[in-house]
Amino acid sequence: MTAAFDEMFGAEGQVDGAPRSAYAALDKWMKASPPEFFDARRRQAELFFRRIGITFAVYGEAESHERLIPFDIVPRIISGKEWRRLEQGLIQRAAVLNAFLQDVYGPGECVKAGIIPAGLVYGNSQYRVEMTRIRPPHDIYVHILGADLVRVGEDQFYVLEDNARTPSGVSYMLENREVMMRLFPELFARHRVAPVETYTDSLLATLRSVAPEGSSKDATAVVLTPGPYNSAFYEHSFLADKMGVELVEGSDLFVQDARVFMRTTEGPRRVDVIYRRVDDDFLDPLTFKPDSALGVPGLMAAYEAGAVTVVNAVGAGVADDKAVYTYMPDLVRFYTGKEAILPNVPTWRCRETDALAYVLDHLPELVVKEVNGSGGYGMLVGPTATRSEIEVFAHKLKTDPEGFIAQPTLALSTCPTFTEKGLQPRHVDLRPFVLTGSDQVRVTPGGLTRVALTEGSLVVNSSQGGGTKDTWVLDD
């Protein structure tokens, strides 16, 4: 693996060298601030987050207590020029994902043309045959896209994966900004930082724009949560509160005459848009898992009747499958006639014989992922894996090659991060959020930067010990 590109100091990554232009003012300010200042602000930030109560739970722990996600007080900075290119690529990505889903639940032209194998689409565990007879309002499937980006050089960004089902993390993006503005108002005064706090207004506008035809201008939207024991419940309640809409559980809704209603103290109220944070399998016990207590009986009938919009659409998960991801460059060309603005990470499909043979021979050098995995689980990071872990994965690959893809171990870019040893470079990724409505596409300038707090680690997921940073896009 080559040396990582440092976003503050460039290719050489020398702390005593000249910073890149976007970081010049931050570098000057940091050098003028004593170490004890940063330590005091770090402790103050932790206190803020404890008071706010922004936590997450880790599934599978013996004690399912909630954790505070570590927050780094040194912002990540992206120039306006860099961001404009990323924004164009993200808009293109969202459009192609929507075109792909509209196609595979309709005429299937991409399969007929041999762009993607039929079995990978129609045999996918996330493919919902029920959606072949349902046309979502305004033909939008992925209303909210969280695309994970990584940087490996001055002008080299890759899409690591697409999150098209129920992408999470936006509450951390918003809370990170609020805390930074409280802690460092003088630093904001030295920069023109694009705002992120308009995200919830944009989200509400997007939700209302995709309401079924005939809905009022102020269509009723709700956030559907599995409940307080879900790991992302804080985010569910946060977004409902910021948008000024109701946070509901399945039992708060009912279907009558193929329309969805919400129980209120003033009687039933019609619901036009459901921003669901409940997985497909649990949405409607009459269609999917019959023992689900999280969903709404009859919801799919109302959906099929065109009486309610579900955000993101049922069945959107087929678009963020990691094996489908490998075909995105081909799908971009197929639907747009152009090359992808943001390329994929080079990927081996283990379902292919030659690729599997290569991966098995090079496991210590590669990252191997389950095609349906998430949160950093079910993956092998070859360079840091033990011999026994590599042997276990080799067996998994031979047993179920279709369940895995492999990628080179990228030298993810680093950003300065406050640690016990002072400022140290740590690897980062970025999850921007793209909102696709019937009226326009809205991209929040920035996103959630996740940081691998362990020295040398490439795993940024909070469930695996990662933290977060505020992401500044400069208005230049």
Convert the pLDDT of each residue in 131-188 to its tens digit: 999 999 999 999 999 999 999 999 999 999 999 999 999 999 999 999 999 999 999 9
User: What average pLDDT does range 274-279 have in this prediction?
Assistant: 97
b vs e for 314-330, b when ≥16 Cβ sit within 10 Å of the residue's Cβ?
bbbbbbbbbbbbbbbee
| Alpha carbons 59 and 163: distance in angstroms, whole number | 19
Q: Is 66's pLDDT higher than 80?
A: no
| 101 Rama class: left (phi>0) / alpha (psi -120 to 50) / beta | alpha
Q: Is 80's pLDDT higher than 50?
A: yes
User: What CATH number belongs to 213-307?
Assistant: 3.40.50.11290
User: What average pLDDT does range 8-30 have in this prediction?
Assistant: 82
What's the predicted TM-score (pTM) here?
A: 0.92
Q: What is the pLDDT of residues 241-272, one digit of tens each?
A: 999 999 999 999 999 999 999 999 999 999 99
List, as one string, the DSSP characters of 251-296: GGEEEETTEEEE--TTS-EE--EEEE-S-GGGT-TTTS-TT-SSS-
Among residues 469, 408, 396, the alpha carbon closest in space to that of 179 is found at 469
346-409 and 213-307 share a CATH fold: no
Q: How far is CA 16 from the centre of its chain?
A: 34
| Alpha carbons 75 and 23: distance in angstroms, whole number | 10
| Alpha carbons 32 and 47: distance in angstroms, whole number | 25
The residue extents of the domains of the chain are 213-307, 346-409
* Two tokens, residue 439: 């009226």
Instruction: Fold for 346-409, please state it.
Output: Dna Ligase; domain 1 (3.30.1490)
| Alpha carbons 372 and 274: distance in angstroms, whole number | 25
Q: What is the pLDDT of residue 466?
A: 80
